[in-house]
A and B are shown apart, each in its own frame.
Chain A
Amino acid sequence: MANMSLKKNPMPTLDPIERGRVFAEVALGYTEEQAIAEAARCLNCKTMPCVAGCPVRIRIPEFINKIREYDFEGAYKIISDTSSLPAVCGRVCPQETQCESKCVRGIKGEPVGIGRLERFVADWHNAHSEQIPVNLPKNGHKVAIVGSGPSGLTCAGDLARLGYSVTVFEALHTAGGVLVYGIPEFRLPKSIVAREVESLKAMGVEILTNMIIGKTLTVDELFEMGYEAVFIGSGAGLPNFMGIPGESLKGVYSANEFLTRANLMKAYREDSHTPIMRGGNVAVVGGGNVAMDAARTALRLGAEKVYIVYRRSMEELPARREEVEHAIEEGIEFMLLNNPTEILGYVNPDDKTDPKNGFVKGMKCIRMQLGEPDEKGRRRPVEIPDSEHIIDVDTVIISIGTSPNPLIKDTTDGLEVNRWGGIIVDESSLTSRTGVYAGGDAVTGAATVISAMGAGKLAAESIHKFLDN
């Protein structure tokens, strides 16, 4: 008999005030009892609408059923059949717009906490199993993967399971892409990502770091080296700036730089040598998940006040609800319907050597109101005349999106991109070059981890079809 509670079993979390100053993971995960109680809420629908909502098609009712039977390892096997990164997805997927949005239980009350259950299963597996090398039968074909973010790792895992010899080329010194440089420790601990990468290596996937495709090697050279297909999952890349005065002042960061310093370069740790602006007041410009990550990271690095400055209202704010709620609980202030017009710098007219010269001392914003809906149906923000005001900040983090990195397109003849620089692919993820596939942010522009994984999965299927014939 199913557990008919209308509410999900709540996720245990760290106290918001306490956690706002430390980098420990915020959501603590279900206990076995909580997981079993939550699993009992699943109605095991024969039509499995939830599976249709999952970009990597995890057989959700099947794994939940295993939890109910106390067979947690069995549940893990079902998830890992289709997902290369279960512990990651259980933490960062926007389940509320995917699998959980299709859950029948969600019609009246809250859907089954599928994400929380997935995380429980993955964490249980990681805590109870040894990493043992798996000897998969090889099919003799070699595939190169460019980038070790979510799309690349997924594509690599799926191809390795099919018997391909897979090499992943990563530009940075650590594998994981956005999972290690972008998403902060308190949302996705680095050790979880490292563990998932180790699982792939145990399957025989080779990962080469410090290899910048487009510079160290080109796509054409990969083919010359004997790779028969290439998957490009190089991510979104270049940060966008607003083009307002003062963006080059000291204390203005792109979210990419701020988060990379904090995460990849470990400024979140006390003993780190990585310099970063700490303390003072911080304004984060933008309303996406990356903006929430930057704001909450700034708070943990010692900021007194942290503002999210967003030009529309809460309703249009694109970040996940859960992230917004966490940010509010921790004391992040939302300065909505505001748009920056200038960043102001400190100038001491009497002393050119004053060390404060050239640092941010404030940001001028103009208040906005929502006007007529645009072609996408989103109400357009319109400036309210004479409403400019100055906020007192020392650091500004610009989080208004990224554009695809040109390194690969510039060095690969015949690789077509759209006017935004995104790589053009067909429905099978094939680019304009034979044997070259692409997916994730390099194709779509900034999106989610799980959609990138879905793209990696699709590309793996297409590469298999291409090379199997």
Chain B
Amino acid sequence: MYRIVTKRVLNPYVTLMDIEAPFVARKAEPGQFIILRQDAEGERIPLTVAGFDREAGTVRIIFQTVGATTKKLSQMEPGDSLSDFAGPLGVPTHTEGLSQVCIVGGGVGCAIALPIAEKLKSLGAKVTSIIGFRSEDLVILEDEFRAASDELTVMTDDGSYGRQGNVCVPLNEILSSGRRFDKVIAIGPLVMMKFVVESVRPTGIPCDVSMNPIMIDGTGMCGGCRLTLNVDGKKVTKFACVDGPDFNGYEVDFDEAISRGNMYRGFERHAYEKTCNLFLKGGKTGG
């Protein structure tokens, strides 16, 4: 069993937890992910590592409530334990040898982008961060990002905080001013990453994206997380769990990934509503 050590509600939909998992904490690197099961009947859900403390033996996860499992997970408290917590899986984000990096985070993707920004900073890179949210009440990790960045722009879609607009607005400004980076790293919703890639493409600056498709085992066994890359005009199938989760954004077939990502949308909504009803009946939401 894997104990929840700390819990922080970052906004109404996003929760942070530090989980006691010493074997995972020893090895975890930014960009890698873990697979957890909330209870012994739960589904296996992949979450990218949002931080770790090797000495305390804890791993940080930050997740958004999107389905039945994350809803149940968000209701757990410090002292409670998760049934399973396996990892670290996937290939760490390549951070070596970069001196100028632009990090673009969207929504809960900022949780994954933060440890990458922190690592780059600790390696001496100059970090320019752009983080975007739908509105002010959804903004997370601003202080942490400020500390890890040389320059930070906060965007909201509705202009309720920071500048109004999506993350591509300041990105395009910076790129058209002639600023150059060794790499742009984009982490967020698939649609956001797709547009970031298109913004960066004309400059030829390498642009990595972090893919988080549906997966089960996380070790290369099921193939459910496969995605298509266009490499030199050839279509290549890769598994996000063992080959990723980071990929060269120029090569990723985003439209296919977006389509595959909503395969079980109807099913998830149904399970989520069932779970919410359970909570309502149990009076846990006070309703």
Given contacts A211-B23, A250-B259, contact A256 B43 (CB under 8 A): no
Which of A215, A238, A243, A261 is the one whose CB lies under 8 Å from B216?
A261
A422 to B221, CA, bound (A): 15
A171 on interface, CB distance cutoff 8 Å: yes
The proximity string for A residues 308-340 relative to B, scoring 1 for CB distances below 8 Å and 0 otherwise, is: 000000000000000000000000000000000
Q: Which residues of chain B from 49 to 98 have any CB-CB distance to chain A below 8 Å in the complex?
A: 68-69, 83-89
Tell me if B221 and A405 are in contact (CB < 8 A): yes
Least distance between A273 CB and chain B CB atoms (Å): 5
Least distance between A256 CB and chain B CB atoms (Å): 5
Q: Which residues of chain A from 343 to 379 have any CB-CB distance to chain B below 8 Å in the complex?
A: 355, 357-358
B219 on interface, CB distance cutoff 8 Å: yes
Tell me if A172 and B217 are in contact (CB < 8 A): yes
A256 to B224, CA, bound (A): 9
Chain B residues with Cβ under 8 A from A216's Cβ? 23-24, 27, 86-88
Chain B residues with Cβ under 8 A from A172's Cβ? 86, 217
Chain B residues with Cβ under 8 A from A355's Cβ? 265-266
Which of A273, A275, A407 is the one whose CB lies under 8 Å from B220?
A407
A138 on interface, CB distance cutoff 8 Å: no
Given contacts A238-B221, A238-B223, contact A248 B228 (CB under 8 A): yes
A215 to B218, CA, bound (A): 11
Least distance between B170 CB and chain A CB atoms (Å): 29
Q: Which residues of A contact B (CB under 8 A)?
A: 171-173, 181, 209-212, 215-217, 235, 237-239, 241, 243, 247-248, 250-251, 253-254, 256-257, 260-261, 264-266, 273-275, 355, 357-358, 405-407
Which of A173, A241, A358 is the one whose CB lies under 8 Å from B223?
A241
Chain A residues with Cβ under 8 A from B242's Cβ? 238, 405-407
The proximity string for B residues 25-52 relative to A, scoring 1 for CB distances below 8 Å and 0 otherwise, is: 0010000000001000111100000000
Interface residues on B, range: 35 or more
Q: Is the interface of A mostly helix, strand, loop or mixed?
A: loop
Tell me if B86 and A171 are in contact (CB < 8 A): yes
Tell me if A210 and B41 are in contact (CB < 8 A): no
Given contacts A248-B226, A253-B224, A358-B259, contact A173 B83 (CB under 8 A): yes
By beta carbon, the residue of chain A nearest B37 is A173
A247 to B237, CA, bound (A): 10
Chain B residues with Cβ under 8 A from A275's Cβ? 263-264, 267-268, 271
B173 on interface, CB distance cutoff 8 Å: no
Least distance between A170 CB and chain B CB atoms (Å): 10
Least distance between B258 CB and chain A CB atoms (Å): 9
B256 on interface, CB distance cutoff 8 Å: yes
Least distance between A417 CB and chain B CB atoms (Å): 15
A74 to B87, CA, bound (A): 44
B7 on interface, CB distance cutoff 8 Å: no
A209 to B44, CA, bound (A): 14
Tell me if A239 and B23 are in contact (CB < 8 A): no
B260 on interface, CB distance cutoff 8 Å: yes
B250 on interface, CB distance cutoff 8 Å: no
By beta carbon, the residue of chain B nearest A236 is B221
Tell me if A260 and B27 are in contact (CB < 8 A): no
Tell me if B85 and A210 are in contact (CB < 8 A): yes
Tell me if B84 and A210 are in contact (CB < 8 A): yes
Least distance between A453 CB and chain B CB atoms (Å): 20
User: Could you list 7 examples of A-B contacts with CB < 8 Å?
Assistant: A210-B84, A241-B223, A248-B256, A248-B260, A251-B263, A257-B223, A275-B268
By beta carbon, the residue of chain B nearest A235 is B221
B239 on interface, CB distance cutoff 8 Å: yes
Q: Which residues of chain B from 231 to 287 have any CB-CB distance to chain A below 8 Å in the complex?
A: 237, 239, 242, 256, 259-260, 263-268, 271
Tell me if B86 and A212 are in contact (CB < 8 A): yes
Tell me if B223 and A256 are in contact (CB < 8 A): yes
Chain B residues with Cβ under 8 A from A256's Cβ? 221-223
Tell me if A265 and B216 are in contact (CB < 8 A): yes
Chain B residues with Cβ under 8 A from A247's Cβ? 237
Give 7 nearest A-B pairs by CB, closest first: A210-B86, A257-B222, A358-B259, A275-B264, A254-B223, A275-B267, A239-B223
